């Protein structure tokens, strides 16, 4: 992997990640941009729940569903200047122009997986998927050294139904100045489990799913994917490395080498859940791709017991049947009690049915 750092016209950092060591990235951003807005996001604490909430009013003007020929994540070509000055790229990471977290309140980055506007992560080859993993890992390690950063979160949202406003295949990285509420709950559960049993809750969860077997989707020597026993979403898969580690930089070489094939297979199965057709037939029949969120859960940067945390990826969709979405209604939004219409065992069976040939 070759990493090249440069700056955009407004001073934001841009990083190219290339598979070729001889790649040259010297294009200059020629856009007449004002200096980046460095207003600090207002982080407020909910007095009842103890949750941190980011107030980021400057994001109201962010780009919203531009036509393909005005996509800001495509390369700069034919006189059209974008966020990425190069005429092509493998993987590019840059500071978000409209960040949710700014200044002393953290940092937000955009990760572009490919320069092909019409592709998706599932369309990538294993070499490119491995390069994305390298970029996630590098940024996780680097952002963890920034003053005030407490947690690094790499994720992808795909599909309008999930809330995506840019169609180009991309994800994001948030460097939070606090430990997120969801991670706080995991840590508390892990501590209670350790006190009660003397064991690690992530290890026990993975062992229980493998022993049961009914919800296993993929199982190999280095990764296991399963639908969790108490899945919140209609189709939800958790991907665990077989050797527990707290974060992406801690994965061993074997886990890194085998991740691309496993992850791409999971994404391709998600695209076949509701119709069973492959990509070519999908395009012919104009079937919309499955919307999803893919989220890496890593240990907080400075937590005393971060080694107790288990890195894992959570992949889920808000589509419950063809043409129907699961909306967060009163119980979910009001009380955070999820009601799932699809039994986890049935979801796992379906995900095994749509395996690649």
In residues, how long is the chain?
357
If you search the block for the tokens 């980055």, which residue do you land on?
109
Cβ atoms 74, 82 nearer than 8 A? yes
Are residues 264 and 126 in contact, defined by beta-carbon separation less than 8 angstroms? yes
Residue 154 among known ligand-binding residues: no
Annotated binding residue at 108? no
146 CB-side CA count, 13 A: 22
DSSP state of 320: E
Residue 332 token pair: 């979910």
- Residues 242, 244, 250, 251: what is their CA dihedral angle, to the nearest 10 degrees? 0
What DSSP letter does each residue of 31-79 carry, written as one string? --PPPPP-PPPEEEE-TTT--EEEE-GGGGGS--S--GGG-TTSB-BTT
The bridge status of strand 151-158 relative to strand 2-7 is unpaired
- Does 297 participate in catalysis according to the annotation? no
Q: What residues does 151 pair with on adjacent strands?
A: 176
Pick the catalytic residue: 38, 170, 232, 302?
170
Strand order across the 235-241 sheet: 2-7, 13-18, 91-95, 107-112, 170-176, 151-158, 292-297, 312-317, 235-241, 223-226, 216-219
Residues that constitute the known binding site for Zn(2+): 71, 74, 117, 168
So which residues are the catalytic ones? 170
Residues that constitute the known binding site: 71, 74, 117, 168
């Amino acid at each position: 992997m070759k990493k090249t750092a440069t700056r955009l016209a407004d001073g934001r950092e841009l990083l190219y990640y290339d598979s070729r060591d001889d790649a040259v990235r010297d294009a200059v951003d020629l856009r007449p941009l004002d200096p980046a807005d460095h207003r600090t996001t207002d982080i407020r604490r909910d007095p009842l729940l103890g949750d941190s909430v980011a107030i980021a009013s400057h994001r109201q003007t962010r780009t919203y569903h531009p036509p393909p020929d005005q996509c800001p994540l495509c390369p700069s070509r034919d006189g059209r200047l974008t966020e990425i000055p190069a005429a092509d790229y493998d993987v590019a990471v840059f500071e978000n122009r409209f960040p949710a977290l700014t200044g002393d309140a953290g940092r937000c980055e955009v990760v572009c997986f490919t320069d092909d506007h019409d592709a998706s992560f599932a369309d990538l080859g294993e070499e490119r998927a491995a390069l994305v993993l390298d970029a996630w890992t590098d940024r996780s390690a680097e952002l963890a050294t920034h003053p005030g950063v407490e947690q690094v979160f790499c994720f992808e949202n795909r599909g309008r139904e999930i809330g995506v406003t840019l169609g180009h295949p991309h994800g994001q990285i948030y460097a939070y100045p606090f430990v997120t509420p969801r991670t706080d709950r995991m840590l508390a559960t892990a501590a209670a489990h350790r006190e009660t049993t003397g064991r690690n809750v992530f290890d026990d969860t993975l062992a229980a799913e493998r022993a049961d077997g009914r919800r296993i989707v993929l199982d190999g020597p280095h990764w296991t994917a399963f639908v969790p026993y108490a899945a919140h979403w209609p189709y939800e898969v958790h991907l665990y490395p077989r050797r527990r580690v707290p974060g992406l930089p801690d994965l061993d070489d074997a886990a890194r080498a085998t991740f691309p094939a496993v992850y791409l297979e999971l994404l391709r199965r998600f695209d076949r859940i509701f119709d069973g057709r492959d990509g070519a037939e999908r395009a012919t029949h104009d079937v919309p791709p499955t919307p999803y969120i893919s989220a890496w859960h890593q240990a907080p940067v400075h937590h005393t017991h971060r080694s107790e945390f288990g890195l894992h990826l959570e992949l889920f969709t808000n589509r419950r049947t063809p043409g129907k979405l699961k909306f967060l209604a009163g119980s979910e939004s009001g009380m955070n009690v999820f009601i799932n219409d699809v039994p986890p065992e049935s979801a796992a069976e379906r995900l095994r049915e749509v395996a690649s040939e």
